[in-house]
Amino acid sequence: MALYELRRDPRYEVVSLLTTVAAEFGRVSHHGVRVELLKRQAIAVGLPLLTISIRTQAGDCRPGDDDAIMREYESMMESAMGRYAAIGIRTVAFGDIFLEHLRAYRERKLAGIGMHALFPVWGRATPDLARAFIDLGFRAYLSCVDAAKLGESFAGRFYDHTLLNDFPADVDPCGEYGEYHTFVVDGPIFREPVAVAVGAVIQRDLRYFAELLPST
């Protein structure tokens, strides 16, 4: 939705995507999505992609953590942002919606290297945002769920109005507290769908991951 809103705004030109990948597994940090699918997604939305390989534990870092892994993560992110800044890019957009501490953290880190943060969907009511996502024609699957907040049966489910109705009352409709993560396969910003098949569900630590497989 953040990318959708940016592309509708004539003030901005989106030039790249960036995300972190757990080096040990070759998957998107937190989401558990294979890098192959990530690359297909970037091609489908028509943007170049930069991936930053990090140690698996670094994918679980949060602002305020004070350890060597967090410092390593921040160093790698600063280096990546510096490469963008060197070619004249000064703005980095995030999909955060209402978590003030995350916004402040991102703004502070970017300001340190002369860049600033943009939050295209900030302050939107998450029930409305979730419904708008579906009604606009976006299609997604839950790739990962928090086992303490959502059961195994939610992993791999299609993101639709039925799913929203099935969420427990204490789960944010957009998963803003990390209740779930998704992989988006189609929508108004896609040139073509990303074909996937939902495979087995596995548990790792306190999360259930649905194995999303490239499909033809």
| Successive 10-residue mean pLDDT values, the chain, 216 residues | 97 95 84 94 97 66 60 88 93 97 95 95 98 98 97 97 98 97 98 97 94 91
* 75, 98, 118 - which closes a domain: 118
What residues have CB less than 8 Å from 136, skipping those under 6 apart?
A: 4, 187, 188
Check whether residue 9 and residue 107 sit in a common domain.
Answer: yes
Tell me the residue range of the domain where 71 lies: 2-118
* 97, 118, 139 - which closes a domain: 118
Amino acid residing at 110: L
Does this model's pTM top 0.85? My answer is: yes
Structurally, the chain folds into a number of domains equal to 2
Check whether residue 143 and residue 101 sit in a common domain.
Answer: no
